[in-house]
Structures are given as C-alpha cells and as structure tokens.
C-alpha cells in the first residue's frame, strides 16, 4: 500500500452519514463558541501567564499573547475552511487524510493525543490543587497523601503521596457526562463558561484599579545573552510557552459532525471563540503584570492566587478560586470530547481497533472510547507527575496547525472546484504565514521538548507499522481505489 494514499473526500462524507457510526447533530453556533471558550480559558491563562512573564518576556508577555493569537488566527481560518468542506469528527486528522495521505494523517492523529488526553490529565492535576485550596478556606482538609501522586512528596516531609484522588474523580465525572450525551455536555459547559468568563472579567475590572505603572518598566527587559531570556527572543519563547493557553479553539472542529449547520456555524465557533479569548488574554496579562513586578512570578505556579491577595476583598479571592476550578472543569470536558472524536475517526478508518468507533445505540455517543480514556487519563492524573508535559502539548498542537495550513494549499490544488462555504482569504499567503508563525513558536521551544516530541512520534510509528497499516480500510481489496499522488 502507498503510504501517501489519500482518502477521497466523497468517501469520507459518505461513511460519516451511513451505518452505525453516526453521531447526533445537536450543536448550534452558541454551543460551538462556548465549547471553544470552554477549552481555551483555563490552565494556560491561570498558570502560565506569570511563568512566561517571569522567565522570558516580562510585561511584554502581552506581545507574546498577540504573537500566539496571530498564529492561531491564520490556523483558525484554515481550520474553518476544512470544517465547512469536511464537517466530520476528527479535526486535523481527517483533514490530513483527505489531502496529504494516510501516514501523515496517522502522525496528526497520534500527535493530537498530546493535546487532548495529556492536556486533560495535566489540567486535572491543577484542578485538584485548587479544589484543595478551596476546601481549606471552608476548614476542610483532605489527607495530603490522597491529593498528590506517588512521585511527589508531602510538603515539609519525606513522605510520598499515594494517589491524586481528586484529579481522578474529575476525570471520571466528566467522562461520564460525555457518555450520557453531547447535548447535555454542551449545556453543562455553557453554564461553566459563563461563570468563569465572569470571574476573569471581574479580576480584570477590579485589578485595573490596583495597577502600578512602574511595574511596566522596562516593558521589554533586555536580553541576558541567553536565547529566550527576555528581549525579542524572550517574547517568542514566551509565545511558545503560553501557546498552551490558546489550545482549544481547534477542538471545536472535532465536533463538526455534531453541529446542526456546520457549513455556517463552524467558522463562527472557531474564529469567534478565538477572538473573544484573545481580548480577555491581553487584558488579563496587562492587569497581572501591572499589579506586581513580573519577577514576583518566578517559579510561581499560581500567579493569579498571588496577585489576588493585593485586592482587599475576601469574597473576591474565594470567587476567583471557584472561577479557576470552573475553568479547569470545562477545559477537561472539551479536551476529552476532542480526544474521543479523533480516535472515533481513526477507528472508523481501521487505523485503531473497532471499539473506539462503537456508538451507543440510545445515547449516540462513542461510549467505549470515552470509557477507555476515562481509565487512561485517570491513571496519568492520579499516579504520574505530568506538569512538565505542558510544553509537549504546545509543540504537538503547533505541529498540527502547521499541517492544517499546508493542507489548505494542497486542497486548493487537488480539489479546486469543491464547494467551500467558508474560504480562507489570500491563499497561499495566509496559510504560509500560519506555517511560518507556528513553526517560529515551535523553534523557540527548548531542545528537551523537541526530543520528547520525536520519541512520542517514534512510538506512534511503531503502532502504525505494526497494526494500523495492516488494518486500514484503504488497504482492503473491496474498498474503493484510493487517490494516490
């Protein structure tokens, strides 16, 4: 079999609309925007903003957010074109399969595990820490050994943890909600989004009156002589780091097969959620770095908790913690939703076992896939220290964005006459700019992150050549002849 065999677009759409592998279309434009915001605003904003400012960009982290937003905007327009042409679950994986062949599609699908599954596990650990802090405010203390993984030590002792039980419980709860139904999940997510956005806006509005202008000087701290430590290179390194904060708008495209009117609503969901979050991010970073000197955030995993102490309202401090917990919850929900839909598509193509694409006869959700990731992600959440994988999640997502941008240019050449309800403007300029900006952020990340990506992809190749290539539906003799370039 030719590893560059492309799955015909007509076949992709026909398979999605027939047989038992169908999903229920219940999502409108408001649901899709809420899904995007639900995935975007979370761990990145509440934890990485201060770290990026302290270690890399200083107050110019505001510019880093804008650089990351530009890369996301170019990629978002490309995602929008694909999602209206191919309104199928699977996101970048499906797009790559239709444009650049099975092998690259597998690379993207495997790569997206870093964004969705590992990202959800990472966020669940942060969720756990903030829940513990919230309970402390009400005089409730959980056994410390049940709130950290076996690799971590209880502060002030040499005693190791047993399991991060709260992190496991939130994964179990969210996975159960996704199994019950996408409509119910979307409604729950919408409520959470309203609460956490209200909290973010409150912090921005109240914190504005506690800004000290001297904290913005120097706005761009001079480079120390080391790449990525302040200066222009620091802004770019910070953009790559806080890119984790933008991960999520592409998760909207994974729900295309469950949108009521994907041709119209997908661009609204993708670009709308990205635009709203960019405005909130820039304002939030401006307030955060204005309230205290950026150096205060050195090695601080909870910068919001640090600055909120300077606002003399106890009720607000508690509300912010609740808002952060809400934010983390919605991120976990959308990440697990996106992961199950990607593996759903890969299984439907034969690249993964059939269980990942089995749809519940009554609930119309890929329940076995959700159950699998309930267990898989829970194990990471409860037993593995995964905070260092945040950068790995970013580089994996950036790689997916690069391939999607390239895919738009390929599709314009190979299928110029296909209906495009939404067309990426100024092709090939916009896709090329998307590739350049995203790759620049990838290049700014450290060598360890690149090494981890290479190892992860190597494991994926072993699985592909050991299982997927032999079970691919494109490789079956009774399947339609694939398009090969």
Tokens coding 395: 């580089």
pLDDT tens string, the chain, 485 residues long: the values are 566 677 776 776 666 555 444 555 667 777 778 777 876 777 667 777 888 898 899 999 999 999 989 888 898 888 888 877 776 655 678 778 877 888 888 988 888 888 788 888 888 888 888 888 788 878 888 888 888 888 777 777 788 889 999 999 999 999 998 888 655 566 766 777 788 788 888 888 888 999 999 999 999 999 988 888 999 999 998 888 787 777 777 667 666 666 777 777 778 888 888 888 899 989 989 999 999 999 888 866 567 777 877 877 777 778 888 878 887 887 888 788 878 888 888 888 889 998 888 887 777 778 888 899 999 999 988 887 765 666 777 788 888 889 889 988 988 888 888 778 888 999 999 999 999 988 888 888 888 888 988 998 999 999 999 999 989 888 664 444 333 33
- DSSP assignment string, 7-49: PPHHHHHHHHTSSS------B-HHHHHHHHHHHHSSHIIIIIH
Structural domain contains residue 138: yes
The structure's pTM equals: 0.75
Structural domain contains residue 57: yes
- DSSP assignment string, 446-477: -HHHHHHHHHHHHHHHHHIIIIIHHH-GGGST
Name the domain count of the chain: 1
Structural domain contains residue 14: no
| Paired strand residues for 153 | 160
Helical residues (DSSP H) of 250-366, grouped into ranges? 262-291, 303-308, 314-348
CA 175/CA 48 separation, integer angstroms: 26
Q: Are 164 and 370 in contact (CB under 8 A)?
A: no
Identify the three-state secondary structure at position 218.
Answer: coil
User: By CB neighbour count within 10 A (0-12 exposed, 13-18 middle, 19+ buried), where does 352 fall?
Assistant: buried
CA 324/CA 83 separation, integer angstroms: 30
| Residue range(s) defining the domain that contains residue 238 | 27-484
Closest CA to 102 of 13, 8, 233: 8
For position 483, what pLDDT does the model report? 38
CA 204/CA 58 separation, integer angstroms: 19
Q: What is the pLDDT of residues 12-38, one digit of tens each?
A: 666 655 544 455 566 777 777 877 787
Cα angle vertex 448, ends 447, 451, to 5°? 90
CA 466/CA 469 separation, integer angstroms: 7
For residue 379, count other CB atoms closer than 10 A to its CB: 13
Give Rg (Cα) of the chain: 22
For position 298, what pLDDT does the model report? 80
Structural domain contains residue 147: yes
Q: Are 88 and 257 in contact (CB under 8 A)?
A: yes
| CA dihedral sign, ordered 430, 442, 269, 183 | positive
CA 122/CA 170 separation, integer angstroms: 12
CA 133/CA 471 separation, integer angstroms: 48
The backbone torsions φ and ψ at residue 153, rounded to the nearest 5 degrees and listed phi first, read -110, 140
CA 266/CA 36 separation, integer angstroms: 11
Structural domain contains residue 62: yes
Structural domain contains residue 250: yes
CA 391/CA 381 separation, integer angstroms: 17
- DSSP assignment string, 129-181: HHHHHHHHHTT----GGGBS-TTSB-TTSSPBP--BHHHHHHHHHHHHHHHH-
Structural domain contains residue 320: yes
Rounded to the nearest 10°, the torsion over CA 276, 277, 279, 284 is 140
Query: What b/e sequence results for 115-137 when a residue is b if at least 16 CB atoms lie within 10 Å of its CB, and e otherwise?
Result: bbbbbbbbbbbbbbbbbbeeeee
Q: Are 323 and 314 in contact (CB under 8 A)?
A: no
CA 427/CA 412 separation, integer angstroms: 9
For residue 364, count other CB atoms closer than 10 A to its CB: 17
Closest CA to 271 of 430, 443, 100, 93: 430
CATH number assigned to the domain comprising residue 55: 1.20.1740.10
Rounded to the nearest 10°, the torsion over CA 367, 248, 42, 192 is -60
**What is the pLDDT of the chain when averaged over all its residues?**
81
CA 38/CA 194 separation, integer angstroms: 9
The backbone torsions φ and ψ at residue 300, rounded to the nearest 5 degrees and listed phi first, read -105, 110
Q: How many CA atoms lie within 13 A of 393 on its CB side?
A: 25
For position 58, what pLDDT does the model report? 92
Q: Are 163 and 149 in contact (CB under 8 A)?
A: yes
Tokens coding 275: 């635009």
Q: Are 111 and 338 in contact (CB under 8 A)?
A: no
Structural domain contains residue 17: no
């Amino acid at each position: 079999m030719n590893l560059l065999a492309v799955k015909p677009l007509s076949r992709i759409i026909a398979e999605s609309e027939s047989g038992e592998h169908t999903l229920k279309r219940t999502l409108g434009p408001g649901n899709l925007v809420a899904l995007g915001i639900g995935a975007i605003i979370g761990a990145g904003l509440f934890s990485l903003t201060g770290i990026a400012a302290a270690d890399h960009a200083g107050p110019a982290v505001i510019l880093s957010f804008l650089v990351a937003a530009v890369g996301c905007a170019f990629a978002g327009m490309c995602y929008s074109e694909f999602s209206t042409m191919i309104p199928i679950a699977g996101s970048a994986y499906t797009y790559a399969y239709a444009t650049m062949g099975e092998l690259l599609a597998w690379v993207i699908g495997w790569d997206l595990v870093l964004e969705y599954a590992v990202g959800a596990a990472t966020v669940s650990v942060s969720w756990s820490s903030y829940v513990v802090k919230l309970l402390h405010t009400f005089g409730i203390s959980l056994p410390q050994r049940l709130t950290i993984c076996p690799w971590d030590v209880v502060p002030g002792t040499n005693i190791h943890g047993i399991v991060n039980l709260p992190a496991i419980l939130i994964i179990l709860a969210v996975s159960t909600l996704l199994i019950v139904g996408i409509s119910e999940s979307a409604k729950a997510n919408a409520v959470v989004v309203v609460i956490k956005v209200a909290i973010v806006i409150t912090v921005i509005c109240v914190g504005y009156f506690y800004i000290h202008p001297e904290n913005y000087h120097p706005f761009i701290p001079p480079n120390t002589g080391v790449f990525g430590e302040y200066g222009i290179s620091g802004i770019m390194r910070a953009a790559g780091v806080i890119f984790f904060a933008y991960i999520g708008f592409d998760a909207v495209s994974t729900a295309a097969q469950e949108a009521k009117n994907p041709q119209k609503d997908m661009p609204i969901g993708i670009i709308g959620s990205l635009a709203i979050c960019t405005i909130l991010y820039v304002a939030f970073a401006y307030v955060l770095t204005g309230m205290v000197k950026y150096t205060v955030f050195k090695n601080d995993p909870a910068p919001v908790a640090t600055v909120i102490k300077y606002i003399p309202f106890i009720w607000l401090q508690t509300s912010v913690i609740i808002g952060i917990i809400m934010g983390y919850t919605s991120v976990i929900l959308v990440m697990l939703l996106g992961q199950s839909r990607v593996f759903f598509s890969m299984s439907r193509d034969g690249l993964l076992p059939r269980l990942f694409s089995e749809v519940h006869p009554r609930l119309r959700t890929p329940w076995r896939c959700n159950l699998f990731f309930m267990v898989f992600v829970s194990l990471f959440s409860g037993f593995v220290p995964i905070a260092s994988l945040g950068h790995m999640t970013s580089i994996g997502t950036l790689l997916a964005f690069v391939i999607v941008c390239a895919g738009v240019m390929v599709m314009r050449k190979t299928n110029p006459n296909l209906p495009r309800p939404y067309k990426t403007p100024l092709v090939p300029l916009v896709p090329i700019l998307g590739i350049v900006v995203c790759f620049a952020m990838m290049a700014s990340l450290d060598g360890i992150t690149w090494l981890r990506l290479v190892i992860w992809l190597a494991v994926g190749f072993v699985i592909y050549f050991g299982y997927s290539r032999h079970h691919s539906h494109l490789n079956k003799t009774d399947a339609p002849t694939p398009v090969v370039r």
